[in-house]
Structure 1
Amino acid sequence: MIALLEVRDLVRDYTLPKQSLLSKPQNLRVLHGVSLSLKQGESLGIVGESGSGKSTLARSVMGLEKPQSGSVTINGKDIYSLGRAELKAARKEFQAIFQDPYGSLDPRHSVRRILAEPVVSLEDATTAESREERIRQVLEAVGLPASAADKYPHEFSGGQRQRIAIARALITRPKLIVADEPVSALDVSIQAQVLNLMMDLQEQFGLSYLFISHDLGVMRVITDRVAVIHLGRIVEEGPTNEVFDNPQHPYTQALVNAVPKPFSGRRKMRVKAP
């Protein structure tokens, strides 16, 4: 099967603030030649501690931060080689869900406008009627009534807001969703509901997830494979249960050993709320 996402030899540097007026700017390398692939319908987890390069990798995959070298190919298209019009057309195929369900939704806009915005921005030929129908469909898919479209983000709980964020990611009918710590800001019981929803949506729509998290328990449940990132390098990769049950790299062993209690569960099992 041809990979939906191919990341090859990705290098990302940041320029550090100058130490003095006459000093030369220094670069900090955050990603050191990262490579990975993801097939259609698969879920790949990127796990590592804060500062390991997880979110930088996610932003680079989304086309939000251009790397110094390397390539990101989604559905056969190298996104950093595309022109503006081609990139606009390609963006329908990959969307993101971010960590903060409060900060990721504009409080000034209704849910209808929040959900319609990606369609208006990325699709040229749509009618008000077709947008309204798609809004109804994605709200229904994430377990919210059509009447939610008339409300504003402050009228919803954190879990409901994240459902709206998921609906916004779904509305362009993408093949790939990059989920950057999508449940870490939620209560544990709400995390379980959102993870179950994401697994249902993956099966319903044939989605692929690039799932970023520091939580090994979450990764155990929702991902097929996992890549462990440490100091900007992938140090171990393989089927999730195999990597966590028998970690080979010392850094992965340290991550697993740091979990207070042995976590259990298998891919595609329902997440139980406490």
Structure 2
Amino acid sequence: MTAPLLEIRDVARDYTLPRASLLSRPQVLRVLHGINLTLPAGQSLGIVGESGCGKSTLARCVMGLEAPQQGRVMLDGQDIYALGRRGLRGLRSRFQAIFQDPYGSLDPRQTVRRIVLEPLAALQPETPAADRESRLIEVLEAVGLSPAAADKYPHEFSGGQRQRIAIARALITRPALIVADEPVSALDVSVQAQVLNLMMDLQERFNLSYLFISHDLGVMRVITDRVAVMHLGVVVEEGPTNEVFDNPQHPYTRKLVDAVPKPFAGRRMRRPAPSPAPSAV
């Protein structure tokens, strides 16, 4: 049996709180409690739950940004926190991120060319200049932007186009895993559908796996194969997306499903219509 691309094994994460007084001991808050999840290559796993449940903390642990106090994060069978700084740097090309704010995540002082190529320059500096340029054109066209966009700045694009730039930036190293933290929540509803459709097309084209963080069950129905429901730092329910949302077993999952408008609560949403020309976004 092929090993999963990503394995999260008994991961716990603590934060130290400020001292209540000069002589008091600092208190420790446990944000993640023994999380266990797996993600096969080419599939999408959603993490859903209300704000403060630990979704983004888990994403940072998976990205190698915050080491857990307990447990392991395995990518391609390797414990990313046992590799050391140099070993982790060598593995970073295998995973990239897309963030919530498509404007705040892009440096407004840099051209699209420099923004998109930055991960390649940092993680694969040996890449020849000609290959960098061909990769740049490839990822821009893959997300629906023309090569001419490379010489423009983020403020010259709409919100949906800026998120396409962020997706191109995530693709440039040819990763296997993309961690998407609320990537469409800042976009208009019509643009959300276009970006989700694009992400599904890219998943098929590049055999990507997504760890998709969101509080939106409608988005999860569109993009994920499986979903894990988090509450107060614990995974309370996990399984195929349709099964979890159509027949929730945990009271908290039922609460989430009941809060969704009824037309979307009990059935899988249709795949969004094909994206229009990028200028419409």
- Normalising by the residue count of structure 2, what TM-score does the alignment of the two structures yield? 0.94
SS in 1 for 2:100: coil
RMSD of aligned Cα (Å): 1.2
State the distance in 2 between where 1:134 and 1:246 align: 44
SS in 1 for 2:74: strand
Once the 2 structures are TM-superposed, how far is the Cα of residue 196 of structure 1 from its aligned partner? Answer: 0.1
Would you say the 8 A contact 2:242–2:267 is kept in 1?
A: no
Off by >3 Å, runs of 4+ in structure 1: 264-267
Aligned partner of 1:79 in structure 2 is 80
Once the 2 structures are TM-superposed, how far is the Cα of residue 13 of structure 1 from its aligned partner? Answer: 0.6
Aligned partner of 2:16 in structure 1 is 15
Aligned partner of 1:188 in structure 2 is 189
State the distance in 2 between where 1:239 and 1:262 align: 20
Aligned partner of 2:157 in structure 1 is 156
Aligned partner of 1:224 in structure 2 is 225
**Residue type of the partner of 2:182?**
E
State the distance in 2 between where 1:189 and 1:265 align: 20
**Residue type of the partner of 2:28?**
N
State the distance in 2 between where 1:18 and 1:127 align: 52
Aligned partner of 1:166 in structure 2 is 167
State the distance in 2 between where 1:261 and 1:170 align: 36
**Residue type of the partner of 1:142?**
V
Once the 2 structures are TM-superposed, how far is the Cα of residue 265 of structure 1 from its aligned partner? Answer: 5.5
Q: When the two structures are aligned, how many residues end up with a matched partner? A: 272
Aligned partner of 2:145 in structure 1 is 144
SS in 1 for 2:38: strand
Aligned partner of 1:253 in structure 2 is 254
State the distance in 1 between where 2:267 and 2:141 align: 28
SS in 2 for 1:135: helix
Aligned partner of 1:177 in structure 2 is 178
SS in 1 for 2:263: coil
For each residue in 1:190-217, what CA deviation from the matched residue of structure 2 results, as whole angstroms up to 9, or x when unmatched? 0000000000000000000000000000
**Residue type of the partner of 1:103?**
G
SS in 2 for 1:7: strand
Once the 2 structures are TM-superposed, how far is the Cα of residue 85 of structure 1 from its aligned partner? Answer: 2.1
**Residue type of the partner of 2:19?**
K
- 81-90 vs 3-12, which moves further: 81-90
State the distance in 2 between where 1:261 and 1:99 align: 26
Residue identity (%) = 74
Would you say the 8 A contact 1:221–1:265 is kept in 2?
A: no
